[in-house]
Structure 1
Amino acid sequence: MKVVFRADASHQIGSGHVMRCLTLADALTQAGGDCQFICRNHKGHLAEFIRAKGYPCHLLHEDSEHAEMGVPSTQHSTTQHADWLKVTWQLDAVQTGCVLDTVKPDWLVVDHYALDHGWEQALTPYYRKLMVIDDLADRPHHHADVLLDQTLGRKEDEYRSLVSPDTRLLVGADYALLRPEFAKWRAYSLKRREVPELKTILINLGGVDNDNVTGDLLDALTACKLPADCSIVVVMGASAPHLQAVRDKAALMDLDTRVLSGVSNMAELMAHADFAIGAAGSTSWERCCLGLPAVMVVLAQNQQLIANQLSQIGACEVMSADTLNDELPHVLHDLSETTLKSMSEHARAVCTGDGATHVARTLVSLGA
Structure 2
Amino acid sequence: MALIPTTILTGFLGAGKTTLLKRILQEQHGLRIAVIENEFGQENIDNEILVQDSNEQIIEMNNGCICCTVRGDLIVALGTLARQRDAGQLQFDRVVIETTGLANPGPVAQTFFVDEEVASHYLLDAVVTVVDARHAMAQLDEHEEAQRQVGFADKLLLSKTDLVDAAALALLTPRLKRINPRAPIAHMDFGRTPLAEVLDIRGFNLNDKLELDPDFLAAETAHEHEHEHEHGAACAADCAAPGHHHHHAGHSDDIAAFVFHSARPFDSAKLDEFLGGLVQVYGPRMLRYKGVLLMQGADRKVVFQGVHQIMGSDLGAKWGEDEVRGSKMVFIGKNLPKDIFIRGLEQCLV
- The reply to whether TM is greater than 0.5 is no
Structure 2-normalised TM-score?
0.31
Question: Quick check: which one's helix share is greater?
Answer: 1
Larger Rg over CA atoms: 2
Question: Quick check: which one's strand share is greater?
Answer: 2
Structure 1-normalised TM-score?
0.30
